[in-house]
Amino acid sequence: MANAATARPPGTAADWTIPQDWARYTPKEHAVWDLLYVRQTEMLQNRACQAFRQGVEHLRLSDKGIPNFEELSARLAKRTGWRVVAVPGLVPDEVFFEHLANRRFVAGRFIRKPEQLDYLQEPDVFHDLFGHVPLLSDPVFADYMQAYGEGGLKALRLNALEKLARLYWYTVEFGLIAESSGLRLYGAGILSSFGESRFALEDSSPNRLTFDLMRVMRTRYRIDDYQQSYFVIDNFDQLLHQTRDADFSPLYRELETLPDLAPDAVIPSDRIVSRGSQKHAYRGKFQ
Ligand code: PHE
Ligand code: CO
């Protein structure tokens, strides 16, 4: 998502965007997208939330090849007013939030190499488009993302970004949703990951806990492995109202007085959907 300040690379606009240069993708790069798309769509049958599946359809993501940002933005803008813009890599926090607050989703334009299908450090165009963009065509989730951008600008002023970033992590990137047919995925970090999309729903290792705003903002997270805890929302309305319609200033002050929680912690006030064995944590991701 975002990053501490670095110098703006040459060739980027003042808002850090660059042209996608769609014509420069090679057939091999398009083939990597197609492979990831087919594999992941198969994996997500009965695992992705309904809004995601509808988004994929509305945006015609099943068309072959890496999507053209202009065409994708035209379809997305018709639904929710969001657009997708290309950036060279991580951008400063303020730039990132400013884009979100204006309904622009910043996406990487490079695609992973065929030998990196399962793991890569920096988000590429598959993670950013396939993982994030379908949900931006859902009107409620679209409002949540815009409000998050505004909230990010405020958190920067209040020196509370570390807490607010956890909310992004445990919702936008790694969120689960309880649908009538069962638990489903809506977090982009899971939806774009072949391994974690099964792990997050079916493995006995991680905790699955009912979403609680303050609880989430106290919880540290792992960036080097599958998550040890996932938080489950009931629906996007709940998420939107609990965040956009609350003033976080007093919450940030309260958080200053509360200890952080470990990624695998379970505390007495938690509402547990399923308690994890945390077995996976001892093995590590790639063994
Ligand atoms: N309402 C929050 C605040 O006062 C901002 C926010 C909106 C944060 C949506 C997260 C998501 O800071
Ligand atoms: Co992401």
β pairing state of 207-210 and 229-233? parallel
Instruction: For ligand 1, atom 3, name the residue with the nearest CA.
Output: 248
Cβ atoms of 107 and 86 within 8 Å: the answer is yes
| Other beta carbons less than 10 A from residue 284's beta carbon | 10
> Does residue 187 have its Cβ closer than 6 Å to ligand 1?
no
> Does residue 251 have its Cβ closer than 6 Å to ligand 1?
no
Q: Which of 73, 99, 81 is nearest to 12 (CA)?
A: 99
> Does residue 67 have its Cβ closer than 6 Å to ligand 1?
no
Radius of gyration of the chain (CA): 18
Q: How far is the CA of 50 from the centre of ligand 2 (A)?
A: 19
- Give the nearest ligand 1 atom to 152 CA: 8
Q: How far is the CA of 157 from the centre of ligand 1 (A)?
A: 13
Provide the residue-wise pLDDT of the chain in tens; the chain has 287 residues: 566 557 898 889 999 999 999 999 999 999 999 999 999 999 999 999 999 999 999 999 999 999 999 999 999 999 999 999 999 988 999 999 999 999 999 999 999 999 999 878 889 999 999 999 999 999 999 999 999 999 999 999 999 999 999 999 999 999 999 999 999 999 999 999 999 999 999 999 999 999 999 999 999 999 989 999 999 999 999 999 999 999 999 999 999 999 999 999 999 999 999 999 999 876 554 43
The protein residues having their C-beta less than 5 angstroms from ligand 2 (an ion) are 188
pLDDT value of residue 5: 56
Q: How far apart are CA 95 and CA 98, in angstroms?
A: 5
Instruction: For ligand 1, atom 8, name the residue with the nearest CA.
Output: 151
Report pTM: 0.96
Instruction: For ligand 1, atom 5, name the residue with the nearest CA.
Output: 151
β pairing state of 272-274 and 207-210? antiparallel
Cite the beta strand spans of the chain per DSSP E. Answer: 2-3, 83-87, 91-92, 104-108, 176-179, 182-185, 207-210, 229-233, 272-274
